[in-house]
Amino acid sequence: MNQRPMTARQLGLCACHTCGLLSKWERGHVDLTCPRCRSHLHLRKPDSIARTWAFLIASYLLFLPANLLPIMHTNSLFGAQSDTIMSGIVYLWVSGSWHLALVVFIASILVPSAKLLALTFLAVSVQKRSQWDPIQRTNMYRIVELVGRWSMLDIFVVSVLVALVQLQSLATIRAGHGAVAFGAVVVLTMFAAMEFDPRLIWDPQDDAS
């Protein structure tokens, strides 16, 4: 087919998210429900950009304490210490486990910040109805979504340690406030990615044609 592919929106069609029924819709109407299961029908995720922004801003707000406050307090035979994510990485690095330091750095600093920046870029580009390389941007979104659930490495390590090393008199580990903030950042960026509607990347192309 030489004809340019049509989208459901262009055909005036909308699929129900709940029961999958395809139904016609009239332009101008915003609040529609599925004729079969009465679920709300949305052509695009409602307020997608606004919600994405809300989660992104929340993530940014917590990203600072997540990196500045200690994530873990350890108290053992070898003394007590409080580690922020960065001091943990530095400790791993100087104690010779540079590969572990690299893993933690990528998982806990690089990935979350890259994710935040990528989502911000996507949200901005969509809001400005940019037509720049939608394929690239879609790929970017795909990676952000894929990587999201794996960026909880620190929280995972801390929770495993806290659970395992409660040998009381010998050593105690407590999660610090940083862990709360860090966990919140990871969850909030996941939500931000979830709320972002990638179809919006393509809409300016369709409208322009």
Q: Which residues are at the interface with another protein (CB under 8 A)?
A: 11, 13-14, 21-26, 29-36, 38, 40-41, 47, 50-51, 54-55, 57-59, 61-62, 64-65, 68-69, 77-81, 177, 180-181, 184, 188, 191, 195
Q: How far is the CB of 35 from Zn ion (least distance, A)?
A: 8
Q: How far is the CB of 121 from another protein (least distance, A)?
A: 19
Helix ranges restricted to H, the chain: 48-68, 85-94, 98-105, 111-127, 134-148, 153-164, 177-195, 199-208
Give the one residue of 6, 8, 11, 19 binding Zn ion; rule: CB under 5 A: 19
Residue closer to another protein, measured from CB, 126 or 188: 188
Distances (CA, A) of 200 to 29, 113, 207: 19, 23, 11
Distances (CA, A) of 66 to 155, 178, 183: 11, 4, 8
Q: Which residues of 145-164 are buried (b: 16+ CB within 10 A; e: fewer)?
A: bebbeebbebbebbeebbee
Residue 147 near which of another protein, Zn ion, none (CB within 5-8 Å, type-dependent):
none
Give the one residue of 37, 50, 110, 143 binding Zn ion; rule: CB under 5 A: 37
Q: How far is the CB of 175 from another protein (least distance, A)?
A: 13
Question: Contacts with Zn ion: how many residues (CB under 5 A)?
Answer: 8
